[in-house]
Structure 1
Amino acid sequence: MRVVVDPSTVVVDEVDDLNRLAVLSHIDIEQSIARLVDAGLAAPSAGEQMDGPNVVWLDAAALRDRARRAPGTRAASWDNQWDGMIAFADQHGWMREGTHVRAHVDDDR
């Protein structure tokens, strides 16, 4: 799954690929975080929670809701796959407070 951020939109796509999670940014990281906050996918403190360059913490519940509404097909086992992705993230320390999941931001400017 990826979240694509450009100057005017934030789109969740590749929602059936739950083996990865990334943010693809067409703008600088500060603008990307602001766009993610505006879209309800990150908390206002997302920029303060950075774990190094090009990392952001996404609201897992909001991301799940956006992914469910995204166009495209959903496997019958999508909910189980989502839960598996979040459990994997948690096992690797990529969850914060059980509510936010760590995502790498790929700079595609």
Structure 2
Amino acid sequence: MSDKNQLRDVFDAIADPARRRLIRLLAEAEEIPLHELTEQFSMCRTTVSKHLTILKDAGLVVYRKVGRETRYRLNASPLREVQDWVAHHSKFWNGNLRRLSQLLEEERP
């Protein structure tokens, strides 16, 4: 983990489809109250809150209280770690596939 404040690995946090959907919803809006997020799922408010807690622990979500309401927004900067990992491995596979293609071309009669 790159950020000392992160309690959970970003890869672990985005592994669940429901959490990826939460990230997508938060990316589309500046800020969303918990009750509006819960309406987007066929799960109870407590389950949505648990998913949000995992995202908060990974540094992907920040929140603020407005009266009795909790509003959430995305902090996408921890996703840079995922992007960097994918880019590194993409270079590896692209290079290997290019070499394989060259070998196959050389073996053609």
TM normalised by structure 2 equals 0.32
- Normalised to the residue count of structure 1, the TM-score between the two structures is 0.32
Of structures 1 and 2, the one scoring higher in RCO (CA 8 A, sep 6+) is 1
Pair member with larger Rg: 2
More helix by share: 2
